[in-house]
Amino acid sequence: MSILKGFILFFCAAGTLWAQTHLQELLPRGSELSQWKLQAKPEVFSGEALFNYIDGGAEIYFEYGFRQVLVQDFLDSAGDLISLEIFEMASAESAYGIYSFKRSPEGEPINLDDEAQLADYYLNLWKGNFLVTVTGSNSGEKIREGVLTIGRAVEAKIKGRAEKPDLVTLLPTTGLLEQSVKYFKGQLGLFNSYPFFTADVFVFKQAVKGDYAAGYSLFILEYPDSQSARQRFAEAEKNLRKSERYRDFSAEEGIIQAVDGKGRQIFGSASRKYLLLLVGGEDFQYAKKIFAGVGK
Amino acid sequence: MPKKISRREFVQKTIEIGLAVTAGHTLFPPLLRSSNPASAKEAVNLAVVSGNEYARSTAKAVEILGGIEKFVPRKARVALLPNVQRSNPGTFTNPEIVRAVIRLSKQAGASEVNLLSWLAMKNWESTGLAKVAAEEGANLKLFERDEANFKPVPIPAGKTLKEARILSEFYNHDVFINMPITKDHAGNRFTGTMKNLMGLNSPANNRTFHKENWETDAGAIDHLDQCIADLNTVLKPTLCIVDATEFIVTNGPMGPGELLKPHKVIAGVDRVAVDSFCASLWGLKGEEILHIRHGFEHKLGEVNLQNVKMREITL
């Protein structure tokens, strides 16, 4: 028994060590960093230990599928600080999801693999199973250049590429604000984007949201089959009717409609294995046209 | 260094607390109770000061509420609880606001001003708050996450959370000034005075605010927010001073995220009203944030800002 325990402990320790080494290989060093110097040793948080790092805000990473994160600070001679976080997620989908969740709709796309965005004082980069976040202490030119330098150096060390989840391609591209696209793996991400209901009405497999130049947001929630999608649509209709947050409920040709507390029109419909939701559409005909364009 | 208590002392203290509660005694010394609204119907004061000199805004906000002497008696031991999440912009309480509150407390005659936390020194150093504490002669009291440093506190009114574990050192103070930064939170969309009190509760107990296996359905959000409101029924700040100068409105609580810069300092004794006002700064309604709503249900304060006596000025 004790021999078995010993083996288990050995393999656990070896696994942790491998994981840490594995992430540390992605750390930029020396000339890759220009004037920035490593400040102290990197820290690695695996699994539940993420709760110790992100005090009170770790759930969203677990919802997408978190494995571990490496954290390293850099300083320059003036004492300015840049922080690097390399998140290893459970899959490329997970990494794309948390990347899409964290990026800013106002950010500037950067030409790095697979996708990267610089916003004000920080950079988010998605490549393979990794999300890389580089954060400057302010948005000055020197800091932004340092953020890009560190981001590029890490990106060059990550091997392999990945495609975005297929669901993302269902969003109609006309008028789509690319930087606004968010991919969800659970209720928390969706709730942060638009809190349709406080109860868990949708129970979806995966979902995507895009904002459009015309001023509306389109949500596509995927289910295992069309029957599940129709069941959830019926549930959404029931909740929309009874919720105090919505008023002026109506239904026509399989499309439900209501107005939220901020006066925005909300529309919903089931189509194949998807539940489609529109926030901010003009009227019924408008919503019908947008729903018809999904996946085309 | 903070004193660590032995397991035996820990058990003994637990029994004493249980007896005190059974006997109908409160866990709070009188000063910690005195400035809180007895019910949501009472008139509430809320001070909102805008300006780029944050120390000056802080002093003005406290002055509007009646001056620091109203909250900090001579020789009082004052506990401060700023938010020290990490050095990312807009995620931690501005050091100049903390500096101002330390100075105000000392001017009022506080015998000592202590900053309490179980977070690491690294957080305090990288945010610049350790430097401010040292420069102003306040004590930075950091505690290990060891459960022996926390006191079990029953929550009789708790709907979900029945027991908290509060830093034992907290109970050696007469005055408690809660000093969060308001910001986004990826779980419940908002952080303010009420959520900041998790900084006094043990990390192990805080973990129970989140569901097992980190389930993230809507029930998980309500579970977290009900726990926050329940915790607030046994921790009552003498005064809340909130940093709303520059804060993240996405990717909270740690960021990095989009920054909003209202350049405001908010002060009040009614934490529900303070949080409700802070939420309004980025288009949220207090009623929409579950823990604010649950705080109102617990009669901790007023959620409807139309019922709040507020004064807002620009310096």
Could you tell me the mean pLDDT of each successive run of 10 residues in chain A, 296 residues long? Answer: 50 46 89 92 93 85 96 94 97 97 90 86 96 96 96 93 93 95 94 86 95 97 97 94 91 94 94 97 91 90
Chain CA centroid to CA A143, Å: 25
d(CA A99, CA A182): 8
A108 contact B CB<8A: no
Judged by CB atoms closer than 8 Å, whether chains meet at B186 and A57 is answered as yes
pLDDT of residue B155 exceeding 50 = yes
Confidence bin at B158 (pLDDT 50/70/90): very high
Q: Is B121 part of a structural domain of the chain?
A: yes
Domain count for chain B: 1
Comparing A113 with B14, the larger pLDDT belongs to A113
Residues of A with CB below 8 A from B89's CB? 121, 135, 137-138
Confidence bin at B45 (pLDDT 50/70/90): confident
pLDDT of residue B1 exceeding 50 = no
pLDDT of residue B41 exceeding 70 = no
Average pLDDT rounded to a whole number, residues B129-135: 98
Q: What is the DSSP string of B150-184?
A: EEEEE-TT-SS--EEEEEGGGGG-SEEEEEPBPB-
Instruction: Check residue A6 and give its pLDDT.
Output: 54
Question: Which of A98-107, A184-193, B85-94, B214-223 bottoms out in mean pLDDT, i.e. has the lowest?
Answer: B214-223
Q: Is B197 part of a structural domain of the chain?
A: yes
Q: Testing the interface with B: which of A200, A239, A262 to mutate, by most B Cβ within 10 A?
A: A200
Q: What would the pLDDT profile of B263-274 be if each residue is shown by its tens digit?
A: 999 999 999 999
Q: Is B231 part of a structural domain of the chain?
A: yes
Judged by CB atoms closer than 8 Å, whether chains meet at B217 and A187 is answered as yes
Instruction: Check residue B218 and give its pLDDT.
Output: 66
Q: What does each C-alpha distance from A142 to A39, A120, A136 come to in angstroms?
A: 18, 12, 10
Gyration radius from chain B CA atoms: 18
Q: Is B297 part of a structural domain of the chain?
A: yes
Instruction: Check residue B20 and give its pLDDT.
Output: 35
Instruction: Check residue B299 and give its pLDDT.
Output: 98
Q: Is B17 part of a structural domain of the chain?
A: no
- Residue B197: closest CA among chain A residues belongs to which residue? A56
d(CA A60, CA A94): 11
**Beta-carbon neighbour count of residue B247 at 10 Å?**
31
Average pLDDT rounded to a whole number, residues B266-292: 96
Q: What does each C-alpha distance from B50 to B59, B177, B265, B278, B312 come to in angstroms?
A: 12, 20, 7, 13, 8
d(CA A138, CA B90): 10
d(CA A108, CA A118): 5
Residues of A with CB below 8 A from B252's CB? 57
CA distance A152 to chain B (A): 18
Instruction: Check residue A245 and give its pLDDT.
Output: 86
Question: Backbone phi, then psi, for B205, in 5-degree steps?
Answer: -70, -40
Q: What is the DSSP string of B32-47?
A: HHHTS-SSTTS--EEE
Instruction: Check residue A21 and give its pLDDT.
Output: 58
A83 contact B CB<8A: yes
Chain A 114-143, residues with CB within 8 Å of chain B CB atoms = 119-122, 133, 135, 137-138
ipTM given for this complex: 0.87
Judged by CB atoms closer than 8 Å, whether chains meet at B216 and A200 is answered as no
Instruction: Check residue A10 and give its pLDDT.
Output: 47
Gyration radius from chain A CA atoms: 22
- Residue A74: closest CA among chain B residues belongs to which residue? B126
Instruction: Check residue A82 and give its pLDDT.
Output: 97
Nearest to A187 by CA among B77, B211, B277: B211
Residues of B with CB below 8 A from A204's CB? none
Judged by CB atoms closer than 8 Å, whether chains meet at B252 and A51 is answered as no
Instruction: Check residue B35 and give its pLDDT.
Output: 43
Q: What would the pLDDT profile of B303-312 be if each residue is shown by its tens digit?
A: 999 999 999 9
Residue from the list A102, A120, A186 with its beta carbon closest to the beta carbon of B259: A120
CA distance A34 to chain B (A): 22
Residues of A with CB below 8 A from B87's CB? 81, 83, 137
Give yes or no for a contact between B151 and B113, defined as CB atoms under 8 angstroms apart: no
d(CA A279, CA A266): 5
Residue from the list A56, A59, A198 with its beta carbon closest to the beta carbon of B198: A56
CA distance B90 to chain A (A): 10
- What share of residues in chain A are helix, strand, coil (percent, to 5)? 35, 30, 30
- CATH number for the domain spanning B135: value is 3.40.50.11440
Domain span at residue B292 reads: 48-314
In this structure, what DSSP letter does residue A212 have? B
Residue from the list A102, A187, A200 with its beta carbon closest to the beta carbon of B251: A102
Instruction: Check residue B128 and give its pLDDT.
Output: 95
A21 contact B CB<8A: no
Residues of B with CB below 8 A from A200's CB? 217-219
* pTM reported for the whole predicted model: 0.87
- Residue A57: closest CA among chain B residues belongs to which residue? B253
Q: Testing the interface with B: which of A198, A201, A235 to mutate, by most B Cβ within 10 A?
A: A198
Instruction: Check residue B173 and give its pLDDT.
Output: 98
